[in-house]
Amino acid sequence: MKISTLSKKDVLSLMDLTTEEILSIIELATRLKQEAKNGKSNVLLKGIVLGLIFQKPSTRTRVSFETGMYQLGGSVISLNTNDIQLSRGESLEDTARSLSLYLNCLVTRLYQHEETELIAKYASIPVINGLSNLFHPCQILADLMTIQERKGKLKGLNVSWIGDGNNVCNDLILGSAKAGMNLTIACPPGYRPSKEVLAIANLEGSKSGSKLVVTDEPPVAIANADVVVTDTFISIGNDEERLIRERVFLPKYQINQQLMNLARKDAIFMHCLPAKRGQEVTSDVLDGKASVVWDEAENRLHSQKALLLLLTGAKRGA
């Protein structure tokens, strides 16, 4: 079987992927995961070099991309922005042009999404957003894979997001709409997701049958949920707002066992990590039987391997 390349070379948010492309990535990632468990090696990216250019701290994104490339036979160059000429005033445009001469693909983890878009505009190689202030597509690809594994389907499921309408939430909105999942979001006024993203999701939902609801009441959002998702409400770059955000989000938007009991009995709990235990989620939920956060973290590796294979045009035999 041959796998064709994606129709768009950059993945800056899930707006850049069609439903068919998302499902293709999940299918391939699931196959790669099973092959890895069976000890099968796939050096399909031999000779391919991936660059990682990071402004923000990273655990799962950096390690999963580096490990994935090594497992696929490729190489990785990790670039902290303080170690390259960006720190001395070289433009993003010139950096993108230069890196395109040496690399086959680039993952960025920058504070401002506009900077991610600028690098993608001037790079002649595929660019993947490894997290910006607006989007986190790699996380939601892994989340959709995890939901598919645990629930056996995506379409028609009820998903609840409780917390900040942040970058992860924005891509969950897009992913849910494209996959046909119903999503109810509970967040405080003033901390809601992007209006543009909500509008796009409503349009996508009219095609897929997905329903999107935004409320400020967590019990409303979690009722009848198959999947419960949250994230820290103090994202990277928001540390100066810590005290304000703690007053806004706590205790109302904390996921604890009492709130989880309002979801379906077989509901799963998801968190992209790192988690601030005792803030957005209590330890008994994070470590409880409903939690699939470690499957979710592992699936970052497999879904990103699938994304890299598709973006770089690697071919697989039957």
Q: What is the pLDDT of residue 1?
A: 28
In a domain, 2, yes or no: no
Confidence of residue 2 (pLDDT cuts 50, 70, 90): very low
Residue 5 has pLDDT above 50, yes or no: no
Q: What is the pLDDT of residue 200?
A: 97
Of all residues in the chain, what percent are helix, strand and coil, respectively (each to 5)?
Answer: 45, 15, 40
In a domain, 244, yes or no: yes
Kindly give, in sequence order, each residue whose CB lies less than 8 Å from that of residue 185, ignoring residues fewer than 6 positions away: 160, 161, 162, 165, 169, 173, 192, 193, 212, 213, 214, 215, 221
Per-residue pLDDT tens digits for 147-156: 999 999 999 9
Q: Report how far residue 87's alpha carbon sits from residue 74's, in angstroms, rounded to the nearest whole number.
A: 28
As a whole number of Å, the CA-based R_g of the chain is: 19
Residue 316 has pLDDT above 80, yes or no: no
In a domain, 6, yes or no: no
Three-state DSSP at 106 gives strand
pTM: 0.94
Confidence of residue 315 (pLDDT cuts 50, 70, 90): low
Which of the residue ranges 72-81, 84-93, 308-317 has the most confident prediction, judged by mean pLDDT?
72-81
Q: What is the pLDDT of residue 81?
A: 82
Do 101 and 246 fall within a single domain?
Answer: no
**Helix and strand numbers, DSSP H then E, in the chain:** 12, 9
In a domain, 8, yes or no: no
Q: What is the pLDDT of residue 201?
A: 97
Q: Kindly report the CATH number assigned to the domain that includes residue 235.
A: 3.40.50.1370
Do 49 and 180 fall within a single domain?
Answer: no
Do 232 and 153 fall within a single domain?
Answer: yes
Do 237 and 168 fall within a single domain?
Answer: yes
Do 251 and 122 fall within a single domain?
Answer: no
The more confident residue out of 159 and 56 is 159
Do 257 and 285 fall within a single domain?
Answer: yes
Q: What mean pLDDT value characterizes the chain?
A: 93
> What percent of the chain has a predicted confidence (pLDDT) above 90?
87
DSSP label at residue 255? B
Residue 317 has pLDDT above 50, yes or no: no
* DSSP assignments along 35-96, one per residue: HHHTT----TTTT-EEEEEESS--SHHHHHHHHHHHHTT-EEEEEEGGGSGGGGT--HHHHH
Residue 72 · residue 308 · CB < 8 Å: yes
Residue 109 · residue 55 · CB < 8 Å: yes
- Among all residues, which ones are annotated catalytic? 109, 136, 139, 231, 272, 300
- In degrees to the nearest 10, what's the CA dihedral of 55, 56, 59, 64? -50
Confidence of residue 89 (pLDDT cuts 50, 70, 90): confident
Confidence of residue 313 (pLDDT cuts 50, 70, 90): confident
Do 145 and 288 fall within a single domain?
Answer: yes
Do 151 and 275 fall within a single domain?
Answer: yes
Residue 77 has pLDDT above 60, yes or no: yes
Residue 75 has pLDDT above 50, yes or no: yes
Do 119 and 245 fall within a single domain?
Answer: no
Q: What is the pLDDT of residue 8?
A: 44
Q: What is the pLDDT of residue 293?
A: 98
Q: How many structural domains are present in the chain?
A: 2
In a domain, 317, yes or no: no
Do 240 and 192 fall within a single domain?
Answer: yes
Q: What is the pLDDT of residue 124?
A: 94
Do 209 and 144 fall within a single domain?
Answer: yes
Vertex 198 angle, CA 138 and 225, to 5°? 75
Per-residue pLDDT tens digits for 223-276: 999 999 999 999 776 778 899 999 999 999 999 999 999 999 999 999 999 999
Do 219 and 122 fall within a single domain?
Answer: no
In a domain, 152, yes or no: yes
Structure tokens at 282: 């209590």
Averaged pLDDT, 5-24: 85
In a domain, 3, yes or no: no
Q: HEC profile for 5-40? A: CCCCCCECCHHHCCHHHHHHHHHHHHHHHHHHHCCC
In a domain, 21, yes or no: yes
Domain that holds residue 95: 14-135+299-311
